[in-house]
Amino acid sequence: MVGIVVVAHSRVLARAAVALAEEMLQGQHVPIVVAAGLDEETFGTDAAQIAEALVEADQDGDGVVVLMDLGSAVLSAEMALELLEDNDARQRVLLCPAPLVEGLVVAAVTALSGAGRVEVAAEAVAALAGKQSQLGPFVPSGQTEQEPQGGDDTVSGRFQVTPDHGLHARPAARLVQALQGLDTRVELRNLTAGSGWVPGASLSRLATLGALQGHDVEVRASGPQAREAVEQVLSLARRNFDERTSTHDPAGAGAGAGVLGGITTERGTSDDGTTEATGGPLPASPGIGIGPARLAGESEPVPTKPVPTEPVLARPVLARPVPTADSSAEPVEDPAEGRRRLDAAIDAVKTQVREIRSRVARDVGEADAAIFDAHLALLADPELLESTRSRISAGQAANSAWANAVSVAAAGYESLTDPYLQARAADVRALGNQVSRHLLGKSDPTEQPAQRGGVLVAADLTPTEAATLDPGRVAAVVLAFGTPSAHSAILIRARGIPAVVGAGADVLRIADGTPLAVDGSTGELIVNPSAAELTRFRERATAAQDRNRQALAHAEAPAITRDGVEILVGANIGSIEDARAAAESGADMVGLVRTEFLFLGRSKAPEVDEQEAAYRGLAKTLTGRRITLRTLDVGGDKPLDYLSQTVEANPFLGVRGIRLALQRPGLLADQLLAMVRVAHDVPVSVMFPMVSTLDELIRARRVLDAAIKRVGRGEPAGLQVGIMIEVPAAALKAATFAPHVDFLSIGTNDLTQYTLAAERGNDTIASLADALDPGVLQLIDATCRGAGSRTTVAVCGELAADERAVGVLIGLGVRELSVTPRAVPGIKQAVRALVLPETTALAARALVAPSADAVRNLLPTAPL
């Protein structure tokens, strides 16, 4: 093992630094020798003392790394080398320029992993990365940071970071992907934080930018395709890195989340028989779960000598400490063989990740599946791979080299100040463990406990493990570590499994089979619940199950109010998988097909025949139900790479929806031609998005009429035409539009943001963007009144899926609701509990209420 010598002017200082480093070693031994001070109290350095320390530290003959504090310490260390009589011993010593404290901590951990002296010194020098990523390089007033020499082909630009959580894994992965295949070198730096330049091809280095929402980032590129590369990055930035926006924290992970809950210990430990709280789990996925504890095995390969994670960090952020592998756990191998095994393991994991990504995209949606794009980018990260290969070439075994390189990459995330970005470190380590399992020939044991049914208890789950959980068997998930914003928690929520996270290491000592009660909405976790507590949880669960059971049992039946008014309940879909789910959930029709799924993620628009085949595939899956095909709704926050658009100061108020389609008449004509072809065989409704003037509608209808003529079979008998009501002007002019359409479909998400001037992706004003605001309800009322009796009014925004709010919408005059496929049965059941006069009275009160909260207080306390 490599030894370390600490040279300092103060013996007290040196011993304190060593004590800090040893704290990180968790009782394991690394040869660290102090050569500091002239005696216990006198400052100074002694070359002879240092020479003796060098000999003592090189006890295994693996070499020595010397860390020095300042000034004459360097001179004394150099002189000590000259005092060594053994030339071989002298060659095994490296004088390291790393900072003493940070460098010593990292050097000690790296030495314990079995790394050679070059790697130990290199990691020690890199120990400042954490501070630099947060504080940036220091530039004295009046001076500028030294720029590398650039050639005539250097192109630069800058952008502001807009995603909710900054330049985290998904947007960073999209940036890396956008640059793939370009003949150029791209670098970025965080101007707001004053960071140094990092390579755009490295996902792990991009993390060290610490680029949060609102930060300004500069990008520069050199090489033959430099301009194209910079334009790609700026295009990504303009469209929010293709990130979806959110109006709230779905996990309740904001300040104070989790204070309602508490894990309680086993019964009978206190004299009065009451439970004792031992911690505060965080709510991560809503719902009630009751069942026996099913403990998962450790998902990481545990080496013979566990090594703590490399701390460039202040502390781990609710993430399990993942041990890295010690080279002694693996046989010595030829470097070429080690690199071959590494490449094979990475390829195997890439295949796994791609398979999981496809499954998540099918079952959950493309947005959540994009999590795995970051995993694929990390597996191809040139810096991570080069670091690993260098370690292998220096003599480390493949798994040891990979584990240590991953630890350094994860430390880049952990050193950041933003909790969401810090949480990505756990994802990096989890992915590293997948590769390590292949390198060590280990199977993945974590899925087995889940197959037995019950409450899955684990230290943490990788996103892959979370994505493969079976909601039919897993009653709930309890994680000792992790955060509500971790990708594993996102995927657990997407699968509808109740979960709490950050429950603490004590939960790992719960005996398998122990009864557990979990409330993923509040963070409440009870171990060995009493009869009264079980009753309380079961009543909650039973009420929800009864509602769900009744809804599912009658899902195929029409939704008719108690006084005989039928309300159509449809589904919003964006794929064949969504269509299948809609059919299975009993949807009466499809109220919104997001046709963008055909146009995104490709280099050119789909041909007419491809579009027709896709729409026919949806229709076949829906077995004759009416499908509402919304024409391409891009621009603004959803641009297409192959459609050049002028940069807009406020794209939400710019060229988007029907405005963009009318500027690209060929694109719209092709899409309408495909829709008309299908409409001759199945019921089709064509819907135009973001209409704000009658002229826009008339022009769009002319393009539709032209498509009907091109098909040459006359107007399809079942063809209907409608528009989306998404801007206040359209709602107020509903009577103007009504004679020209068969239906008006209200998109409450956009209507709310435009009415309240509250962008729905802006967390700081998310509370304003409430669709139950009386102002929004008054616009829905205006739409219904303007539509009259001959034009149907539908709602396809998120408000339609609120079972408590259905009565208000029906009372205002809405007669169609379109929601996610999973929500269809529940919404139908909510409709069946209504009586029209009562909904009319409720709507009237809501229209004059002073606030959204006041409206909410008028609604039933739970779904009927």
Nearest partner of 833 among 860, 793, 852, judged by Cα: 860
| Distance separating alpha carbons of residues 560 and 787, to the nearest angstrom | 22
Compute the Cα dihedral for 705, 708, 710, 714 and give only its sign: negative
Handedness of CA 774, 776, 777, 779 (dihedral sign): positive
User: What pairing do the DSSP bridges indicate for beta strands 474-479 and 454-458?
Assistant: parallel
Residue 477 and residue 498 in contact, taking contact as beta carbons nearer than 8 Å: yes
CA distances 689 to 619, 651, 658, 659, 854, Å, are 21, 15, 6, 9, 31
Pairing of strands 792-795, 816-819: parallel
Q: Of the residues 9, 96, 215, 796, which is catalytic?
A: 796
Q: Are 638 and 596 in contact (CB under 8 A)?
A: yes
β 792-795/743-746 pair status: parallel
How many angstroms separate the CA atoms of 745 and 688, rounded? 10
Beta-carbon contacts of 626 under 8 Å, excluding residues fewer than 6 positions away, are 589, 590, 682, 683, 684, 685, 718, 720
Confidence (pLDDT) at 144: 39
Determine whether 63 is exposed, middle or buried from the number of CB atoms within 10 Å of its CB (0-12, 13-18, 19+): buried
Q: How many CB atoms lie within 10 A of CB 367?
A: 16
User: What are the residue ranges in the chain where pLDDT is below 70?
Assistant: 71-72, 128-153, 165, 169, 204, 243-280, 297-332, 359-371, 412-424, 426, 442-452, 482-487, 490, 494, 601, 635-641, 644-651, 759-767, 861-864
Tell me if residue 862 falls in helix, strand or coil.
Answer: coil
Q: Which domains does the chain have, with CATH numbers?
A: 3-135 (3.40.50.510), 155-242 (3.30.1340.10), 262-298+446-538 (3.50.30.10), 333-440 (1.10.274.10), 561-858 (3.20.20.60)
Rounded CA gap, 247 and 759, in Å? 9
| Letter string b/e over residues 738-751, b meaning 16 or more CB atoms within 10 A of that residue's CB | beebebbbbbbbbb
* Beta carbons of 184 and 151 less than 8 angstroms apart: no
Residue 638 is classified by DSSP as B
| Among 168, 215, 487, 784, the one annotated catalytic | 487
- Return the closest-CA partner of residue 349 out of 375, 384, 386: 375
Q: Where are the alpha helices (DSSP H) in 720-861?
A: 728-732, 734-737, 748-756, 774-787, 806-812, 824-832, 836-847, 852-858
In the numeric block, the tokens 């430390």 are attached to 411
Specify the pLDDT at position 784. Answer: 97
pLDDT score of 737 = 97
Q: For 859, which DSSP code?
A: S
Q: Answer yes or no: 438 catalytic.
A: no
Question: Looking only at Cα atoms, what is the longest distance across the chain?
Answer: 102
What is the per-residue pLDDT for 755?
94
Distance CA 247, CA 771 (A): 11
Residue with tokens 């690209």: 664
Q: Which tokens go with 17? A: 């630094």
Opening angle at CA 636, ends 633 and 641, nearest 5: 80
Can 487 be counted among the known catalytic residues? yes
Question: Between the CA of residue 52 and those of 36, 59, 77, what are the distances in Å?
Answer: 12, 12, 11
- 548: nearest Cα among 364, 822, 835: 822
Among 702, 652, 711, 647, CA closest to 679: 711
Give residue 206's pLDDT.
81
Per the listing, tokens 């299948």 go with 580
> CA neighbours within 13 Å on the CB side: how many for 449?
25
- pLDDT for the residue 133: 53
Q: Which of 116, 232, 144, 216 is nearest to 181 (CA)?
A: 232
- For residue 240, give both structure tokens: 């929010």
Task: Count CA within 13 A, CB hemisphere, residue 854.
Answer: 12
Tokens 């207080």 appear where?
Answer: 857
